[in-house]
Amino acid sequence: MTKWRFLLAAGAALTIASPALASPIVLPHQQSDTHPTDPEPDAQVTGRIADVNADTRSITLADGHHFKIPGWISFDQLKSGEMVSVVYTPNPHRNTNTVKTVSVI
């Protein structure tokens, strides 16, 4: 008789737990090395300067890229028509670019 009670109890437990057993397996979420607000990695563009604006300390390349040059970069050497290489960090969340280096080629 105790065997039957055990079988009935086991059957009832399986019946109650069956929805939980049928649920999909959830895999642990892997942590990402970057946060959504982190800036993108550095990018580089090479082009000819189409326009130099000394009032705003900005340059526009022939391909349309527009950069504001920070104060610690020498702005006097940048002239319209020169080939330059610009290394910058794009921030798509704010639609801005942070210039790191400007090299005249």
Give domain limits for the chain.
Answer: 43-104
- pLDDT at position 22 is 55
Architecture of domain 43-104: Beta Barrel (2.40)
Phi, psi values for residue 47, rounded to 5°: -170, 175
Question: Rounded distance, CA 78 to CA 71, Å?
Answer: 13
- pLDDT at position 16 is 64
Q: Which value, in Å, is the radius of gyration of the alpha carbons in the chain?
A: 31
- pLDDT at position 53 is 95
- pLDDT at position 77 is 87
Strands of 83-91's sheet, edge to edge? 66-68, 58-61, 43-53, 83-91, 96-104
What's the one-letter identity of residue 44?
Q
Under-50 pLDDT residues of the chain: none
Q: pTM of this prediction? A: 0.60
- pLDDT at position 99 is 92
